[in-house]
Structure 1
Amino acid sequence: MRRVIGLVLLLLSVSLSAQALSWAYAFVVLDGRVYEVMDVAVLEADLGEVVGEVKTMADDMDGSYYGDASNMYLIGTTYREVNGEAMQDVLAVEDELGWKRAEYRHDAPFSMRDHLDTVAYAVLGIGAVLFVSTRVKKRYKK
């Protein structure tokens, strides 16, 4: 009984506070490239074609992210080209106040989740080929 009480007191004395990351800057990811969103407005006249959108949110507990992600912008936030700028260097990101400039900083870290759809399609394709080939083989045996 003393052990149970001691264990309970020990567990109660341990602080279980929730912590979240403090990001150095707002970012968006497009095709494996991380862009820092600057506090610089982009005029409507300078906007090009829509090139993507936020599809996943970065985890504010461990900092992980995959795919076309963001740490500050909600899923569905649109990215557009900026006329006269290379898309590899600059994007425009939709903001509640208009459009903001986002500049390339570095490549996103490798994540297997970025490639799971390719692997899944490959596995399905191989499975379909094996299924069809075994069906054909059984037919010719008869």
Structure 2
Amino acid sequence: MKKFIIVILAIVALMPMRSMNADWAYSFVVYSGDIYEISDNELILSDEIDTKIGQVTRYSDHEGTYSGNFSNTYPKGTIYYSIKNTNPKEIIAIKTDEAIFVKAINKGHYANGQLESKTIWISILGSLVIVLLIIWIMKRKKSMV
């Protein structure tokens, strides 16, 4: 019985929590809850830039879901701008260099850290159920003796 418990606990301990290297399909930034695909070959002229609307608050090259203005390409602090006569819910500009701006096209809502939080809580709950089940089996076995 002790070997069984050790095996179960080892399996639970070795379950991956979620950390993989990035393999995203494209470069992107997240702004105001939406994901914007970076268009590397479409530059925006500086005279078309309107106002600063945000910036990258978190960068990571590890695949996952993150909250805030996240990017898998640009470092923390990279600034987002609106473009004159363009709705920022459709297209924004990303300042990549002193005077270089690239177009980023809205691809829809970004599933932020909610998914990551749910995955962690499900793992914790599953582990707790297994531990409680083991304790219950041990107590039941002792009471039968």
**How would you bin the TM-score normalised by the shorter chain?**
0.5 to 0.7
Within a 5 Å distance, the mapping from 1:19-30 to structure 2 comes to 20-30=21-31
Match for residue 104 of structure 1?
A: 106
After superposition, what is the alpha-carbon deviation per residue over 1:13-67, rounded to whole angstroms, capped at 9, x for unaligned?
A: xxxxx9612221110111101100102100001000000000012451x422211
**Alignment check: 8 A CA contact 1:50 1:81 kept:** yes
Picking from 51, 54, 67, the partner of 1:52 is 54
Name the count of aligned residue pairs: 95
Within a 5 Å distance, the mapping from 1:78-93 to structure 2 comes to 78-93=79-94
**Alignment check: 8 A CA contact 1:30 1:52 kept:** yes
Match for residue 72 of structure 1?
A: 73
Give the letter aligned to residue 100 of structure 2.
G
Give the letter aligned to residue 20 of structure 1.
N
Measure, in 1, the Cα distance between the counterparts of 2:20 and 2:34.
Answer: 27
**Structure 1: segments with no counterpart, 5+ residues:** 1-17, 114-142
Measure, in 1, the Cα distance between the counterparts of 2:20 and 2:111.
Answer: 23
**Alignment check: 8 A CA contact 1:57 1:65 kept:** no
Match for residue 136 of structure 1?
A: none
Measure, in 2, the Cα distance between the counterparts of 1:102 and 1:110.
Answer: 18
Give the letter aligned to residue 82 of structure 1.
I
User: Structure 1 residue 37 and structure 2 residue 38: aligned?
Assistant: yes
Give the letter aligned to residue 22 of structure 2.
L
**Structure 2: segments with no counterpart, 5+ residues:** 1-18, 116-145
Give the structure-2-normalised TM-score: 0.60
**Alignment check: 8 A CA contact 2:66 2:112 kept:** no
Give the letter aligned to residue 53 of structure 1.
Q
3-state secondary structure, aligned to 1:103: strand
3-state secondary structure, aligned to 1:75: coil
Measure, in 1, the Cα distance between the counterparts of 2:94 and 2:48.
Answer: 12
- Which has the higher mean CA deviation after the structures are superposed, 71-80 or 19-28? 19-28
Give the letter aligned to residue 48 of structure 1.
D
